[in-house]
Amino acid sequence: MRIVIMGSGAIGCLYGGLLSQIGENDVTLVGRPLHVDAIKTNGLVMKGVYDDHVVDIKATANPKEIESADLVIITTKSYDTSDAAESIRHLADGGTPIALIQNGLGTSTLISSLLGTKKVVRATTCVGAIMTGPGEVTATGKGLTEIGSHFSGNEDLVDEISKILSIAGFDVKASDNIEGVVWTKTIVNCGLNPVAALTGLKNGEIHSNMGLRALVIRLVEEAARVAAALDVHLSTDDPVRYTLGTAKATSENMNSMLQDVRSCKRTEIDAITGEVLRIARELGIDLPFNESVYALIKALEAKRLESHDPSSGIPWMSSDDLMHALSTL
């Protein structure tokens, strides 16, 4: 299968690298020149829980060079979805199906609208990975990848993609309730990601801190109210327990929002907490804790983007400081 991976960040490199090791697959990574040049020169360096090895894989910074493909997998940040879609329009026009492995809400509908196709599959993943250098990815934890489609008629496509991901070594589950899966992952992210980004703590450290655990519970309970108001059937009966279980199971993970803040990059807070808040406002639901951490993340994000320096010394909030900032709610 000819597979194009749009986005050479940690998730894109991890999925692309493992998929490329299946003999019949021809995989091309599309990313920024820094990573592409390193991969072309040294191969894709893979480390961590999927074993240390170097993968010989195609890479390009220009997706227009790719004339045809059997599958495009978009792993970009949610705010880059529109640009990614435009850059592979020629492939979608040729009938190539698209799979999205991203955080946030609404990207399936966005892709379908922009490209005029229903051949869109959506996935969430609990796999942990971090870029540890140009063209070098370290997998920090294995986890479940759930996949499905918001559009009817894609059952065979979901099964086919599930199969190739499973052969590549991922733990995969096909779902006929992808809306519930995406909302469940978003609720987990509402609880864990901003708290990690504000405090600089890994998931396990948040889980073991009683004050932060209480904050995570409040954030999750609020976000779950929005899903309930929309009559979304979550993939868990207890989103609080599920979130805390995820934190414990991924204790060594530095989640993606913390990685972005550390790297002085834009976060995905708008597609996660921000989108839940937008829907909540339309429904007349008040989410004071999510409103507060959203404002704190946007302020921290702006400050670190302004510095452009991961070693700038901009401090994290201590757990006590964070709880004090929210104490009046």
How confident is the model over 166-193, as a mean pLDDT?
97
As a whole number of angstroms, the distance between CA 5 and CA 15 comes to: 8
Residue 223: which CATH number? 1.10.1040.10
Q: Round to whole Å and give the CA distance between 90 and 78.
A: 21
**CA-angle at 82, arms to 30 and 170, nearest 5°:** 50
Residues 288 and 201 in one domain: yes
The pLDDT of residue 95: 96
Whether the pLDDT of residue 325 is over 90: the answer is no
How would DSSP label each residue in 98-150? Answer: EEEE-SSSSHHHHHHHHHT---EEEEEE--EEEEEETTEEEEEE--EEEEE-S
**Does the global pTM surpass 0.85?**
yes
Residues 211 and 278 in one domain: yes
- What is the per-residue pLDDT across 1-43, written as a single tens digit (0 to 9) for each? 999 999 989 999 999 999 999 988 999 999 999 999 999 999 9
**pLDDT tens for residues 91-113?**
999 999 999 999 999 999 999 99
Question: 238 and 162 in one domain?
Answer: no
Tell whether 136 and 210 lie within a shared domain: no
Question: 78, 104 in Cβ contact below 8 A?
Answer: yes
Q: Crossing angle, helix 288-307 and helix 275-283, to 10 degrees?
A: 150
| Number of separate domains in the chain | 2
Same domain, 153 and 226: no
Residues 26 and 161 in one domain: yes
- Residues 242, 260 within the same domain: yes
Let me know whether 157 and 188 are in one domain: no
pLDDT confidence of residue 214: 96
A 10 A CB-CB count for 289 gives 22
Is 77 found in the same domain as 21? yes
Residues 18 and 165 in one domain: yes
- What is the reported pLDDT for 242? 96
| Catalytic, out of 47, 119, 185, 202 | 185
Name the domain boundary from 176, 191, 207.
176
pLDDT over 70 (residue 318): no
Residue 28's domain is classified under what CATH number? 3.40.50.720
Question: By residue range, what is the domain housing residue 288?
Answer: 179-325
Q: Is 185 a catalytic residue?
A: yes
DSSP letter for each residue of 18-70: HHTTSTT-EEEEE--HHHHHHHHHH-EEEEETT--EEE--EEES-GGG----S
Do 167 and 203 fall into the same domain? no
Is the same domain home to 132 and 109? yes
Pick from 160, 176, 192: which residue ends a domain? 176
**Cβ atoms < 10 Å from Cβ of 286:** 10
Considering 147, 176, 205, which residue would you say is the last residue of a domain? 176
Burial class (CB in 10 A: 0-12, 13-18, 19+), 33: middle
